[in-house]
Structure 1
Amino acid sequence: MTSTAPTFGAALGDRTVPCGPDQPLLDAFLRAGVWMPNSCNQGTCGTCKLRVVRGDVDHRDSPADTLTAAERAAGLALACQARPRSDLTLALDGPAAAAGRTAHPLRDLVGTVVELADIARDTRRLRIALPEPLAFDAGQYVELTVPGSGVRRQYSLANTADVDKVLELHVRLVPGGAATAGWIFDSLGVDDEIEVTGPFGDFVLDDAEGPMVMIGGGTGLAPLVGLARTALARDPGREIHLYHGVRGAADLYDGDAMAELAARYSGFRFVPVLSHEPDPDHRSGLPTDAFVEDVPSARGWSGWLCGPPAMVDAGVKAFKRRRMAPRLIHRENFTPAC
């Protein structure tokens, strides 16, 4: 005689979704096409923090520095880590209270590698053909599963939403990394199959109008390309400044594609900035400083940051220094997946 694990109901606003006892709450809502705040999905950012109004959860691996003992006692939980132990009634506070709106459903697909190319120093472009379209918004990301290990790593999509059957990822080598050194830069080849889960993330365009500035560090450029192309398709006359910060010229890539974009859209400007290896053909220093030098006032602008945490923090300060409204600053702390 076999037994079936119970399925609990998790209610958020006017939506109730089924959730298994070993299924994270966030996973259950996203698979049902119900939006809930999410960013890192590893318990480190706190974006998906919610309130358990009724019922019990298992916090599993929720980090103590992201979800304190006092917060747990007050009924808070991380949706990406918590599993249900009963039927639940959940709530979100503040800006996250808009959760519950329709979202692109989270899906599991098996794709095929159609391109794997070195495009810069320790950087590869990975294109994965899917058996069917994956609905997503520009700026979101997917997870790849390393074969035979169960290890999952996150990579931002460089695509616009209309290019939905061949996903483009920019991957930076991390020495000793299970996914990069041990797979993508080692044994992975064209025609290999890859398990893909997505879409994830909230780093997507909003309804704001006016000029935009985007700053990407390393392969943090990837989601900004999709966002910039999407914004320009909606408003071809929009002013967009895209800064790409890297160590040296050997780390730059897609310059020709950015030049084509600038030739097509008069308001688009692409600015490579080298931080450690000066080159007479490019600006030197930090991309955040270059922005401050170029833009005397960003009042009415929106800002987009994707890169290492230190760069993102510097970008927030730079944007505020130029009078950008905090509500118009969007950030994606980018820790290179390994």
Structure 2
Amino acid sequence: MLEAFLRAGIWMPNSCNQGTCGTCKLQVVCGEVDHGDSPLETLTAEERAAGLALACQARPLAETEVALRGSEPGRTTHVLRDLTATVVGVEEIARDTRRILLGLEEPLAFSAGQYVELLVPGTTERRPYSLANTAEEDKVLELHVRRVPGGVASEWLFGPVAVGDRVEVRGPLGDFHAPDADEDQGEPMVLIGGGTGLAPLLGIARTALARHPERTVVLYHGVRVEADLYDTDRLEELAAGHPGFSFVTVLSREAVRGHRHGYAPDAFVEDIAGARGWSGWLCGPPPMVEAGVKAFKRRRMAPRLIHREKFTAADAPAP
């Protein structure tokens, strides 16, 4: 059902699209649905009996009417599309991390921070990757890919993938994205990314600064060791052009001069005495995101201004 709504250009909340986050949970008003692969951890037996369903997993078995539990009338969305892209760049940017550039024959409308799914060649498996682009960079999609040992997508993206290959792409997806321009108030922002969780934050930060060049934007990039860091030159260039922008690199597994040691959410708490009126953006592994939410609330950030995207493991081992 989720895919049908998005392809029709009708907004419906969505995040993981794998049945694990529960973001797209809705109420079946009348009719009957097949819950498909909806996990009991996300949609309990009691919720099913009460008529709830996960839109990303459920299929209607008859004429069905549904209602969102938290409706937002008039909210706009980008139409979900299927495209064929061409690999135009493959670059090693950090330890077990690659930048993949995909050229499109026609632009893809999206909001900075959203993601696309790639169909792994020779399989029926799709894998989500956040876009590092701004909405204006709509002809060449930039993905940051972390190697997952034995993963179906990793075996391909760190193996035979090559410039000139054709790739099936579906998107855009996800509710983690920069606000529309008319809703952007120019408030101070803090962004915390773990590993390749930096990707969507780059698009969001650059979009925010293009709209309000003087705004305060602080970005924390947390990784395990220095070899995992990347795009620091890009962040330095952004800082040089915007006096209100700064970034902090944080290493959890080693102490190296020039970088903070520990965890990014803790570094934020140490640096910012109060974040009332700020917006917060978190992307990365679930433990980091959860710690970031607590850190933001500790500094009095309003819950409605906290945005999060958890990277959950979806890559199954290759046969």
Q: TM-score range by the shorter chain?
A: over 0.9
Which of 23, 36, 48 does residue 24 from structure 2 map onto?
A: 48
Q: Which amino acid aligns with 1:192?
A: D
Counterpart for residue 36 of structure 2: 60
The corresponding residue for 1:264 is 241
Distance in 1 separating the partners of 2:246 and 2:314: 29
Shift of 1:51: 0.3
Q: Is the 8 A contact 2:285 2:312 kept in 1?
A: yes
Q: Deviations over 1:304-334 (max 9, x none)?
A: 0001000000000100111111111100011
- What's the CA shift for 1:336? 5.2
Counterpart amino acid of 1:201? G
Match of 2:138 in 1: 164
| TM alignment of 1:1-338, pairs within 5 A | 25-93=1-69, 96-98=70-72, 101-180=75-154, 182-206=155-179, 207=183, 208-335=185-312, 338=315
Q: Give the Å deviation of 1:204.
A: 1.3
Alpha-carbon distance in structure 2 between the residues aligned to 1:138 and 1:336: 22
CA contact (8 A) 2:272 2:299 kept: yes
Identity %: 68
CA positional deviation for 1:270: 1.0
Alignment deviations for residues 7-28 of structure 1 (CA, whole Å, 9 cap, x no partner): xxxxxxxxxxxxxxxxxx0000
Root-mean-square deviation (CA, aligned residues, Å) is: 1.0
CA contact (8 A) 1:36 1:100 kept: no
Distance 1:125 1:337 in 2: 19
- Call closer, same or farther: CA 1:99–1:308 in 2, change over 3 Å: farther
Cα deviation, residue 278, structure 1: 1.3
**Radius of gyration: which is bigger?**
1
- Measured after TM superposition, the shift of residue 337 of structure 1 is 5.1
Query: Does the Cα contact within 8 Å between 1:210 and 1:300 map onto a contact in 2?
Result: yes
Q: Which whole-Å CA distance do the structure 2 matches of 1:50 and 1:256 have between them?
A: 44
Deviations 1:201-247 (A, max 9, x none): 00012335411000000000000000000001111111000000001
Give 2:58's aligned amino acid. Answer: A
Measure, in 1, the Cα distance between the counterparts of 2:201 and 2:173: 16
Post-superposition shift, 1:254?
Answer: 0.6
Q: Deviations over 1:92-150 (max 9, x none)?
A: 12xx3116633110000110000001000000000000111000000000000101111
> In structure 2, what is the Cα distance between the partners aligned to 1:256 and 1:26?
39
Aligned residue type for 2:22: G
Specify the SS of the correspondent of 1:179.
helix
Partner of 1:15: none
Q: Structure 2 length normalisation: TM-score?
A: 0.96
Higher mean C-alpha deviation, range 277-286 or range 129-138: 277-286
SS of match in other structure, 2:172:
strand
Aligned counterparts of 1:100 and 1:62: Cα–Cα separation in 2: 28
Opposite residue 148 of structure 1, the aligned amino acid is: G
Name the stretch that deviates more: 100-109 or 57-66: 100-109
Q: Cα–Cα, structure 1 residues 100 and 178, in superposed 2: closer, same or farther, change >3 Å? A: farther
- Distance in 2 (alpha carbons) for counterparts of 1:329 and 1:221: 17
Secondary structure of the corresponding residue to residue 115 of structure 1: strand
* Native 8 Å contact 1:35 1:99 kept in 2: no
Contact 2:186 2:208 (8 Å CA) reproduced: no
Distance 1:110 1:311 in 2: 34
Unmatched segments (≥5 aa) in structure 2: none
1:152-183 CA distance string (max 9 Å, x none): 10000000000001000000001000001x10
Q: Which amino acid aligns with 2:53?
A: A
| Contact kept in structure 1, 2:186 and 2:212, CA below 8 Å | no
